[in-house]
Amino acid sequence: MNVVIIGAVALGPKAACRIKRLDPEVKVTMIDRDSIVSYGGCGIPYYISGDVSEASQLQTTSFHMVRDQKFFKKAKDVEVLTQTEAIAINRENKTVSVRSMEDGTERELPYDKLILATGSSPRRINIPGSDFENVFTVANIHDATRIKELIAKGNAGTPVVIGGGAIGLEMVEAFADLWGLDTTLIEVQDQLLPGLISPKMSAMVKNHLAEKGVEKVYLQENVEEIGGEGRVEWVRTNKRTLKADLVVMAVGVMPNSRLAEKAGLEITHGGAIKVNKQFQTSDPDIYAGGDCIENIHLVTDAPVYFPSGSLANRHGRIIGTNVLGGAEEFAGVVGTFILKVFDMAVAATGICLQKAQSTGKDVFSTFVVQGDRAHFFPGMDLMYLEMVADRKNKAVLGVQGISENGDALSARINAIGAVLPSKPVIRDISNLELAYAPPFSAAMDIVNALANTAENILAGKNRIIDVAEFEDILGGPAEKDCIFLDVRGPANAKPYVDAYPGLWLNIPQDELRDRMDEVPKNKNLILICNSGVRSYEAQITLDQENIFSTKNLQGGVAAIKKYGVKIL
């Protein structure tokens, strides 16, 4: 059998190696336009930052062997044609026309099975100056090397990153953290990581950027022009003009499907190559996977474009099996991801609140702050989790979180992501079995507590407001009808009581029953503690006394601080 693979970055090499392991007699040929193949593209921002010292490290195996043409030929018996472009697919004759990018010569490669691992291309904003020197998209190692050289030589000191998604945030960290550059971030939407996390979580990420010195984060701004004398000197948005000597466009990617479309293969409405669950295209002898296809989202049951190096590798293994007669199927994705933003991790699985609301379902979210391990164990740190669920059927739709302990957060998000394909309800997460020992978790893990809180909200026992609503009340017209009842100890509450006399009242939760006569009966009570747990207990106590005009602040003072609300 003769298998040709177009694309040799992630999916292509995985499929090639799988094929050769299953049947060493199969001839496998990979072709790629680039001179560098089989590299970890997701590591590019960390090469720019200096966390990864050499570009070649992105191309090595765990045994420090460089995955180049020689490696694939000698170690894998796979032929790799670099700097070779696939220009046409002749499905009738089962050949691929290729052209050398070095000398322009063309030839035909016959195939029995063809794999399209064409990946994606970065989007570029079509504005004046977008073709200037020092405007990059960070699409490959070559771009990364050029950016790093510019910075190292002192030729870039005021970078502007366009796009507040994952790549944009990683590039901001690369510029501002280790290089210490005066970095600006511009996002056209009203929040960072739009469509991935909630506005609440996004505000916490934005506040963290400010704490790390990245204060120039501009939301809801359109970049209209990049200017300068032949190279970048400034960037103009619809609201301001910014000094800049380097621009990175991180505004998403598009599936590379043009070659497939020219060959008459079916394309989705989103512009990706259409495949079945076995990754066959509309031609059963041609397979496709990775960034050039769409997947089914297992929460919404709708098509979703989810470019990911990890996903491409999983696709590649299945495709490698199926081209040799296998019948493995890929059900879809739940959109699990994790991102490092300075020393904070941001992770999610499933869908966020806005995505859930767009489905037309009656949904709500629950927010919990709790330690990532037993409160008495040294090194305990707070974790912030938000769950999105359906009010009607209690289906869990997604969970997002932030934490400075990325491994701990990853463990929780991965656990929930693993069960989301089974369509869990809140009670399933409440009773989810997780490994317990004080160095790793609390006896009632934050994941279980998150679901328990959701159940209490649905039952009407925990009546809540979030930090954004709290911020609106404080200093707003509703303030005159409210009292902020702080149920923490006097030492914690005193600075707030002193700052807001007559508005902020302190009665510790364990003294509330004995001091009920001090509770205002003609005001709306906003109940506050450090995390929202003691204030929930206070709400139950007040309900027993027929005082129902209470709202519990989700996440308490910890959430206020993480959100960046300045109240002292």
- Number of domains into which the chain is organized: 4
Domain assignment of residue 469, yes or no: yes
Burial class (CB in 10 A: 0-12, 13-18, 19+), 238: exposed
Domain assignment of residue 8, yes or no: yes
Among 42, 352, 482, 529, which one carries the catalytic annotation?
A: 42
pTM of the model: 0.94
Q: Do 280 and 296 reside in the same domain of the chain? A: yes
Q: Do 141 and 185 reside in the same domain of the chain? A: yes
Mean pLDDT, the chain, rounded, equals 96
Q: What is the pLDDT of residues 444-495, one digit of tens each?
A: 999 999 999 999 999 999 999 999 999 999 999 999 999 999 999 999 999 9
Q: Do 446 and 353 reside in the same domain of the chain? A: yes
Reply yes or no on whether the pLDDT at 56 is more than 90.
no
Domain assignment of residue 128, yes or no: no
CATH number, domain of 31, equals 3.50.50.60
- Split at pLDDT 50, 70, 90, the class of 50 is confident
For the chain, how long is the longest CA-to-CA vector? 91
Contact between residue 335 and residue 351 where contact means Cβ atoms under 8 Å apart: yes
The pair of three-digit structure tokens given for residue 190, joined into one six-digit string: 């009203």
Among candidate residues 458, 492, 515, the one where a domain is terminated: 458
Segment 180-197 mean pLDDT: 97
Reply yes or no on whether the pLDDT at 322 is more than 90.
yes
> Given this model, what pLDDT does residue 62 score?
83
Q: What is the pLDDT of residues 9-36, one digit of tens each?
A: 999 999 999 999 999 999 999 999 999 9
Q: What is the pLDDT of residues 291-311, one digit of tens each?
A: 999 999 999 999 999 999 999
> Given this model, what pLDDT does residue 185 score?
98
> Given this model, what pLDDT does residue 231 score?
87
Reply yes or no on whether the pLDDT at 55 is more than 90.
no
Q: Do 347 and 395 reside in the same domain of the chain? A: yes
Among candidate residues 251, 279, 310, the one where a domain is terminated: 251
- Split at pLDDT 50, 70, 90, the class of 87 is very high
Q: Do 99 and 195 reside in the same domain of the chain? A: no
Q: Do 105 and 65 reside in the same domain of the chain? A: yes
CA–CA separation, 60 and 350 (whole Å): 32
> Given this model, what pLDDT does residue 51 score?
87
CA–CA separation, 455 and 217 (whole Å): 37
| Strand 234-237 relative to strand 241-243, pairing | antiparallel
Q: What is the pLDDT of residues 399-413, one digit of tens each?
A: 999 999 999 999 999
Reply yes or no on whether the pLDDT at 138 is more than 90.
no
- Domain of residue 393 covers 337-458
Looking at residue 436, its amino acid is Y
Q: Do 376 and 433 reside in the same domain of the chain? A: yes
- Residue reference for tokens 């809540």: 464
Domain assignment of residue 275, yes or no: yes
Reply yes or no on whether the pLDDT at 436 is more than 90.
yes
> Given this model, what pLDDT does residue 116 score?
98
Domain assignment of residue 330, yes or no: no
Domain assignment of residue 129, yes or no: no
Among candidate residues 201, 219, 251, the one where a domain is terminated: 251
- Split at pLDDT 50, 70, 90, the class of 61 is confident
Instruction: Give how far the C-alpha of residue 562 lies from the chain's centroid of Cα atoms, to the nearest Å.
Output: 19
529 is catalytic: no
Domain assignment of residue 329, yes or no: no
Q: Do 157 and 89 reside in the same domain of the chain? A: no
- Split at pLDDT 50, 70, 90, the class of 230 is confident
CA–CA separation, 76 and 98 (whole Å): 23
